[in-house]
């Protein structure tokens, strides 16, 4: 789990840091004192509506929201460990949908904004989730600690998932989706998100992620409270 740093930067997504990572069984803590601050935007900036990146049926009566940073190790662990079960046993089964909201902690992760731009550009070609998986799987290669040139890795991933490279490069170089990323991060700040990963299920905020079993329990509880007409038949 990563909490945002108060360090300021022009495009910073400014929340704090209390990271608890399991690395070889050891816990690593990063601690900063100040509370999260809103994203700093140029005067007059109007952001689009925050929509996140959808997986599943947009009409599903329950939504699992994740606020995440592509360079956050805890987010990578959530994607690898809980992600497949959530997708196969909740999303694909029609119990809920899932929205990934960009929450890049640029004050501590220098390469993360580029990763979020790469994923958003992949979404233009219908490949957000493929890029999402590549970014988390390759996190140790392109992270701030590993390289000052993450772009070469993103280009490789784009080629591997079959993107039109001219369109991808144009999108990335123009920072086309920066306002959308900022809007998603602002939505997290408004909800009081101060660490990644953070899940929101049923309007309750769960910092640090949850186990699959706990996510399923929460979804089942919410479904049981729905009117019969609002709970679609579960896929076999």
pLDDT of residue 22: 35
Number of residues in the chain = 236
Q: In this structure, what token pair is assigned to residue 166?
A: 């001219």
Cα(194)–Cα(72) distance, rounded to whole angstroms?
Answer: 13
Is residue 11 a part of any domain in this protein? no
Instruction: Find the domain containing 140 and state its range.
Output: 51-229
pLDDT of residue 235: 53
Its pTM surpasses 0.75: yes
Is residue 22 a part of any domain in this protein? no
Is residue 234 a part of any domain in this protein? no
Q: In this structure, what token pair is assigned to residue 172?
A: 């990335």
- Count up the domains in the chain and report the number: 1
**Any idea what the CATH number is for the domain that residue 162 is in?**
3.40.30.10
Is residue 18 a part of any domain in this protein? no
Cα(203)–Cα(192) distance, rounded to whole angstroms?
Answer: 12
Cα(46)–Cα(44) distance, rounded to whole angstroms?
Answer: 6
pLDDT single digits (tens) 222-236: 999 998 755 555 554
Residue numbers of the chain with a pLDDT score lower than 50: 6-39, 236
Is residue 13 a part of any domain in this protein? no
Is residue 70 a part of any domain in this protein? yes
- Residues 6 or more apart whose CB falls under 8 angstroms from that of 173 comprise none
| Side-chain half-sphere CA neighbours of 98 within 13 A | 26
* Residue 63: C-alpha distances to residues 84, 99, 180, 208, 217 (Å): 17, 7, 19, 18, 14
Is residue 236 a part of any domain in this protein? no
Is residue 103 a part of any domain in this protein? yes
């Amino acid at each position: 789990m990563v909490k945002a740093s108060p360090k300021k930067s022009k495009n910073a997504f400014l929340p704090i840091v209390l990271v608890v990572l399991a690395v070889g069984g050891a816990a690593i803590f990063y601690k900063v004192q100040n509370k999260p601050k809103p994203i700093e935007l140029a005067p007059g900036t109007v952001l689009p509506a925050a929509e996140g990146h959808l997986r599943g049926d947009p009409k599903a009566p329950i939504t699992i929201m994740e606020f995440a940073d592509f360079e956050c190790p805890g987010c990578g662990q959530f994607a690898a460990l809980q992600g497949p079960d959530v997708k196969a046993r909740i999303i694909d089964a029609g119990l809920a949908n899932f929205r990934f909201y960009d929450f890049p902690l640029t004050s501590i992760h220098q390469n993360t904004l580029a990763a979020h731009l790469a994923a958003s550009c992949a979404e233009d070609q219908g490949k957000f989730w493929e890029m999402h998986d590549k970014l988390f799987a390759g996190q140790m290669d392109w992270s701030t600690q590993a390289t000052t040139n993450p772009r070469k890795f993103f280009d490789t991933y784009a080629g591997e998932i079959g993107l039109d490279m001219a369109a991808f490069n144009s999108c990335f170089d123009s920072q086309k989706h920066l306002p959308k990323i900022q809007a998603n991060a602002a939505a997290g700040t408004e909800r009081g998100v101060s660490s990644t990963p953070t899940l929101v299920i049923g309007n309750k905020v769960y910092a640090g992620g949850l186990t699959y079993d706990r996510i399923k329990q929460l979804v089942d509880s919410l479904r049981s409270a729905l009117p019969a007409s609002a709970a679609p038949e579960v896929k076999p």
